[in-house]
Amino acid sequence: MKAKIQNLIHSQIFSNLIYFIILLNAILIGVETFYSTPLVSLVQNIILSIYVVELILRFIGRYSNQEYFEDNWNYFDIFVVVISFIPFAGSLAVLRSFRVIRVLRAVRAVPELRLISSVLLKSIRSLSYTGIFFGIFIYIYGVMGVMLFKFKDYAGSAYEAANNGYPDPYGSLSESYFTLFRLLTGEDWTDLRYILLKYSDYSSFTITTYHVSWMILSGFLLINLVVGAIINNYDQVMKEEKKKQEEDIQNSPNANRIK
């Protein structure tokens, strides 16, 4: 019985069925945002039931308890199913939007997406020191921005009008952080410089050096560090995935029968 379930959950027909169910689920979640009928709700409940059946089949068809519980995707499937049964009422109604997480099941269903997500998760864990390095520099530049460019009488000034009435870009440390993040995205950073050239007491050299050096540091050096780490982790995940596939082939029922 267990061997039959294993053959079923690893078959192409079963995988294609789950692909279709996930795709249908994703479409209906979008449809429900502007049009909902009892039929749509019924189909969603049927899809949820299929998810539950799939979860049970995967547990029964596991090769071992260790193999099942070492796979983080199984925890994700359990989380998706459990959260779908929580009654979202009262203050918990905001959690209703969490149902859209079911769309992420497509990541597990498609091997290529699963590989990419593994690379991203591994990269996030390995980028902790890069994050600390970035945090140090954004703190330094944030403090420098407040000390250099904070406008004393900002409210009602021409500088505020030039900034469309928005808060002083360097009026506080938190606002300075946001401004630096805005510069990192390339959002109107030259306009910010030109406005400062017009209203700040500091020289063009100081203003330009501050902003250009931040753009070079954050937009080129730090991003290249992140890209390099992701590429390195991609190679590691590919090797781990290849090793896991070889182990799955060795542990499969067919391999045992051959032996």
Interatomic CA distance for residues 25 and 20, integer angstroms: 8
Q: Is the separation of the CB atoms in 28 and 36 below 8 Å?
A: no
Select from 124, 128, 134 the least CA-distant residue to 222. 134
Select from 224, 145, 128 the least CA-distant residue to 181. 145
Q: What is the per-residue pLDDT for 91?
A: 55
Pick the CATH number of 111-259 from 1.20.58.1610, 1.10.287.70, 3.10.105.10, 2.60.34.10: 1.10.287.70
The model's pTM is 0.62
Domains 2-109 and 111-259 are alike in CATH topology:
no
Q: What is the per-residue pLDDT for 248?
A: 64
**Token pair recorded at residue 146:** 């407040």
**Token pair recorded at residue 84:** 């779908």
Whole-number Cα distances in Å, 12 to 86, 110, 254: 32, 12, 16
Could you tell me which CATH class the domain 2-109 is placed in? Answer: mainly alpha
Q: What is the per-residue pLDDT for 259?
A: 46
Select from 99, 87, 22, 97 the least CA-distant residue to 54. 22
Q: What is the per-residue pLDDT for 88?
A: 60
Kindly give the confidence (pLDDT) of every residue in the chain, 259 residues in length, as a single tens digit, with 9 standing for 90 and above: 778 888 888 788 888 888 888 888 888 888 887 887 888 888 888 988 998 898 898 888 888 888 788 877 788 888 878 877 776 655 555 555 666 677 777 777 777 777 777 777 777 777 777 788 888 989 999 999 999 999 888 888 898 898 888 899 999 999 999 999 988 888 778 888 899 999 988 899 999 999 999 988 887 777 777 787 788 877 877 777 777 777 766 665 555 544 4
User: Helix 204-216 and helix 128-149: axis angle, to 10°?
Assistant: 170
Hey, where are the domains in the chain?
Answer: 2-109, 111-259
